[in-house]
Structure 1
Amino acid sequence: MKNNRFLSILFICLLLAVGVSAQNTVKTSVPDTIIIPVVPDSDTIGIARVRNELAAAKLNEANMRMEIELLKYQADAADSLKQAKQMQRIDSLRALTPGVPVVVTGDTLFYLYAKRGGYTPQQRAQMDADAIEELGKRFNLNPDSVYIESTDIVTDIMYGNKVIVSFTDQDGLWANCSRDQLAAKERQVIVQKLKELKEEHSAWQLGKRILYFILVLAGQYLLFWLTSWLYRKLKVRIQKLKDTKLKPISIQNYQLLDTQKQVNLLIFLANIGRYVVMLLQLLITVPLLFSIFPQTKDLAYTIFSYIWNPVKSIFWGIVEYIPNLFTIIIIYYAVKYLVKGLRYLATEIDSGHLKITGFYPDWALPTFHIFRFLLYAFMIAMIYPYLPGADSDIFKGISVFVGLIVSLGSSTVIGNIMAGLVITYMRPFKLGDRIKLNDTTGNVIEKTALVTRIKTPKNELVTIPNSFIMSSHTVNYSSSARTYGLIIHTEVSIGYDVPWRKVHQLLIDSALATEGVSADPEPFVLETSLQDWYPVYQINAYIKEADKLTQIHSDLLQNIQDKFAEADVEIMSPHYMAMRDGNESTIPKEDIKPQTTGTGSTKPA
């Protein structure tokens, strides 16, 4: 740069020196070159004056030309410096700035880097591509008629009066050449592309495309016909299977599917398969039809993308999900076998093979169910982050919504579950126990986390929520019978005319004669009250079978009647007046057993 500036200054100095010497020469030589004779004629004097003025004008013209050349040189020097700076800046940006391709029907013709007239390179590339593609669709196109027209600021590639592409000096700098050279180079590329477009949009090509269109339609019609023909053949074969290979499908004694239902099901599946095949054919044929014509080729790609993009995304989603799937499988099987181990331990404890101090056998299975629930909940919590879409806002929103619904609607359910857990570890009863819950008496036949079911002696099934059991009092007959022996009792009233010791013995004998009453501990009698007309006696007996409580109690009452009738003792319930006017006793005669006398004869009691 410094050398160029020094040369420029030296050149300007030489030009100034040449100009000064020329002026001196002109001034000194004017009298020598222009000799004006002294004549008295006035015309001669005018001619001389004109010649002097002409010589001065020539001198001024020479000076002005020198000045113009000097200014032009200065401007060229400034432009060269500016151009050099621009080239340095472009070279620094070239590696970082990608060009914008001008793409026509899938082919990249050239690249644009600079703005022009307020348009970005992207906008210029799109406008140039549209102009070339629109020009290529003309039937009367002559690609060789494309020419170049250059002005002071821009070089245009034109066809007729239409500008196809414009190049500026900036475009030339990016291409390391002048804009005219760039335009000449890209003109050949555009002409070649226009020839291809003309060939593609010719009448011959249009005829071939119409023929292809008709052939594809005919092929699709034949495929539809062939699919329907195969379906009809398959339908006939299926109907023939009814009497040959098909057999009724039964689960235990229930016939799930007979042969006719199987035939109908197979025909239905075959029909579904036919429509699926037809749909696949259409999914292939429709994009193919649109791709035949250039005007609808983009639409064909769009339609095909509607089909292919979901399939591709699903496929790649499955491939990318395989590592997470293996993680989920490992977690699942780890929890599964841990649950199996806990089930084995619970079964051993429940059966009595394994005993743990302070842990009752009837706690084993409920405890196992609790741990199984916790393990599966833990498994779900571990698997949740690996599920597809677990990080999406929609998935999170649905999870929050489901949790809110469960929390709002499950307060009673949660209360019953907690009550069920408390009942399990309180052990107020177990399966098979005879219990009394408020006014309900029966055997426990089912215990769940939510409810307990009781079967009454009348075969009534009563379902009771666990939360209700927690707030009620429960009587367990079976537990008392197993541990201490359950005491059943009943009361009778006998008149004061019968000695109380005899009544006690008769009641004890009645209890011992009852099946299910234990002889040890021995039954005992309590006198509960002394009424105005009679004392009240209460017989108490031990039993071990709480399930037969109702039947044992009934048998006891029957034996009391028999024993007192045999002893000729009246039971004063209901009340009887102790006045005899010759009426018969209330003791039934036909139920009195014959008594054996000392001589071996019998007489009625």
Structure 2
Amino acid sequence: MNKTAASVLVFTMLLVSVIHLTCYGADAAPPKPKEVMSPGYPVMLGDQTIFYVKDVKGYPAQERARTITERVKRIAENHAIPVTSLEASQYQQPITLVAAGDEMVMAVFDEDAKAEGRTRREVAAEYSEKLRSAIEGYRRDYSRKSIFFGSLYTLLVLLLLVISLYGLARLYRVVSKRIQAWIDSKKVSIRIQSFELVRAERIGATLAVATRVIRLAIAVVLIYTCVHLALGFFPWTRPIAGQLLSHVVVPLKTIGGAILGEIPNLIYLIIIVVITIYALKAMGLFFAEVEKGAIAFRGFYPEWAQPTYRIFRILVVAFAAVVAFPYIPGSNSLAFKGVSVFLGVLFSLGSSSAVANIIAGYMLIYRRVFKVGDRVKIGDFVGDVVATRLQVIHLKTVKNEEITVPSSTVVNSHVVNYSALAEEKGLILHSTVTIGYDAPWRQVEALLLLAAERTQGLLREPPPFVLQTSLDDFYVSYEVNVFTNAPREMQRIYTDLHRNIQDAFNEYGVQIMSPNYRGDPAAPKVVPKEQWYATPAKAPDAMNVKKGPCEGEK
């Protein structure tokens, strides 16, 4: 089984599911709340709700609550007004006033009493008591004494947090050392008879990760508790302390609910993933047999098996993704569609050259242009193919350089493969020399064949041959052609051939006319045999000097 394709499929589906769950609150239509009777608008003091008021005789409840809130806050901040002065007094039908000395707070109407199901005076007395209690608490919370003790308690909590975290770190180090010592001393492992399922090192690593997770969880709880307590010591931050836990719990609850609601679709996705994995398994086994030659098709080469399998794998994964798409959580949401379009545009803009190289790589595979180990020439690069990838070809030159050529460049260039026919028919190497008209052409051809015979690494069958390629103004161009089945030795063979050509022509006194001559020199431009190994050159062993058939005929 190719685990990469299965992993990509599973990861893609999980990633899309997480994206949807993250955006679930933005795209899913919230359920319509049940219509209930509104309790009215709240009268507030700080973060505390004192009571609710309703519309009265064209006096909107919202405006009424705002006015009462402003008055209560003004009285609470004016310490010159005693709390005990706040009481209800009968004004006139149908109104009961609640005031603090000369400062009026609110008026209680018959509508308020009717909504509460009591008399107007009872409602006014209740409102007065709630207002006195709220103002007392407000003055107490915002007093200098309360702020001072809140700061003191905060410092104490921070100190306890530091001590707790330090102790937790010490405890973690002690536990880690004891776990490691226990594993080292007991040589703990999970075995079935003599077969070791889980090694001791893996058990130690697992326990180390577990202790780190526990340490992190405890540290998070300690920090949350500290922040919660510190925020609760001050009236300005007390509302945040009450909502701190909900900021964590509510998203988790929403995600959990969304996951539970998507369980049927997740079951469909799991089934599709399992079927896809086993389909890829079966395909992998089939193409592996094709690659080994156990299964053969006419015109289908074994080296095509793995590239063809990769193509079919992409098609199967794509088909599975299309089938699974309707069951992916949030596939119909606007967020999912937006992310899909964005990723599609990003991929199309950033991968055009990569896709072109991949297609070119498949073209090279099915055209069988070359294989690993071939000596090739691609454009201006000559070297041995050391690796072929879908996107690039790696060449190693005779200078021990590695050249990376994009597949699209190879497809658009002329490729010369020196190794393709070398084993069966031999590769023809050729070199040109120019000799004057005064040298007999039969002798020149014999000397070139002699040089070819002296060169190692050439085939004797087919035999080398000489062509006269042109009759120029001052010389004749001769081309010697030789056969070899070792294209990777081209440079060495050319070097040996050129050396032997020079030796043969110098040995028999035939002058090579390159560069051009406009007149014959007084003496032929040749190197006498006694000067072939002038200092610092060293002569080889006489036993290794091979004589040609033409030697001694001069």
The alignment's TM-score, normalised by the length of structure 1, stands at 0.57
1:548: Cα distance to partner?
Answer: 1.6
Q: Which residue does the alignment assign to 2:198?
A: none
1:316 aligned to 240, 243, 254, which one?
Answer: 254
1:435: Cα distance to partner?
Answer: 1.5
- The answer (yes or no) to whether the contact 1:514–1:555 under 8 Å persists in 2 is yes
Alignment of 1:86-485 (within 5 A): 98-101=37-40, 112=54, 115-124=55-64, 139-141=82-84, 146-151=88-93, 154-156=94-96, 158-159=98-99, 162=104, 164-168=106-110, 172=114, 182-184=119-121, 186-187=123-124, 189-190=126-127, 193=130, 197=134, 213=150, 216-217=153-154, 219-227=156-164, 230=167, 280=224, 282-290=226-234, 296=235, 299-305=237-243, 308-310=246-248, 312-314=250-252, 316-317=254-255, 320-321=258-259, 323=262, 326=266, 342=283, 345-371=286-312, 400=341, 403-404=344-345, 407-408=348-349, 411-485=352-426
- The answer (yes or no) to whether the contact 1:443–1:455 under 8 Å persists in 2 is yes
1:488 paired with 2:426, answer no
Once the two structures are superposed, what CA deviation does each residue of 1:17-45 show, in whole Å capped at 9, x if it has no partner?
xxxxxxxxxxxxxxxxxxxxxxxxxxxxx
Is the partner of 1:526 in helix, strand or coil?
strand
Is the partner of 1:481 in helix, strand or coil?
coil
Once the two structures are superposed, what CA deviation does each residue of 1:477-505 show, in whole Å capped at 9, x if it has no partner?
11132453222223455677877667656
111 and 586 in structure 1: CA distance in 2 versus 1, 3 angstrom threshold: closer
Is the partner of 2:469 in helix, strand or coil?
strand
More divergent stretch after superposition (338-347 vs 536-545): 338-347
97 and 282 in structure 1: CA distance in 2 versus 1, 3 angstrom threshold: closer
Once the two structures are superposed, what CA deviation does each residue of 1:191-244 show, in whole Å capped at 9, x if it has no partner?
664575577579799899679636633531431452475489689989x99xx9
Q: Which residue does the alignment assign to 2:23?
A: none
Counterpart residue identity of residue 425, structure 2: Y
376 and 119 in structure 1: CA distance in 2 versus 1, 3 angstrom threshold: farther
Aligned-partner Cα distance in 2 for 1:286–1:129: 28
156 and 393 in structure 1: CA distance in 2 versus 1, 3 angstrom threshold: same
Is the partner of 2:297 in helix, strand or coil?
coil
584 and 317 in structure 1: CA distance in 2 versus 1, 3 angstrom threshold: closer
Aligned-partner Cα distance in 1 for 2:300–2:72: 90
Q: Which residue does the alignment assign to 1:570?
A: 510
1:308: Cα distance to partner?
Answer: 3.5
Aligned-partner Cα distance in 1 for 2:142–2:499: 114
Q: Percent identity?
A: 29
Give 5+ residue unaligned stretches, structure 2.
Answer: 1-33, 183-212, 533-541
Aligned-partner Cα distance in 2 for 1:202–1:548: 99
Give 5+ residue unaligned stretches, structure 1.
Answer: 1-94, 246-268, 291-295, 597-601
Q: Which residue does the alignment assign to 1:250?
A: none
Once the two structures are superposed, what CA deviation does each residue of 1:48-99 show, in whole Å capped at 9, x if it has no partner?
xxxxxxxxxxxxxxxxxxxxxxxxxxxxxxxxxxxxxxxxxxxxxxx98724
Greater Rg by CA? 1
Is the partner of 1:423 in helix, strand or coil?
helix
Aligned-partner Cα distance in 2 for 1:583–1:358: 61
1:132: Cα distance to partner?
Answer: 7.8
Aligned-partner Cα distance in 1 for 2:50–2:345: 57
The alignment's TM-score, normalised by the length of structure 2, stands at 0.61
Aligned-partner Cα distance in 1 for 2:52–2:384: 93
- The answer (yes or no) to whether the contact 1:228–1:274 under 8 Å persists in 2 is no
CA RMSD, Structure 1 to Structure 2 (Å): 5.8
Aligned-partner Cα distance in 1 for 2:403–2:491: 18
- The answer (yes or no) to whether the contact 1:156–1:166 under 8 Å persists in 2 is yes
User: Which structure has the higher relative contact order (CA within 8 Å, separation 6+)?
Assistant: 2
Counterpart residue identity of residue 186, structure 1: V
Aligned length: 467
Is the partner of 2:422 in helix, strand or coil?
helix
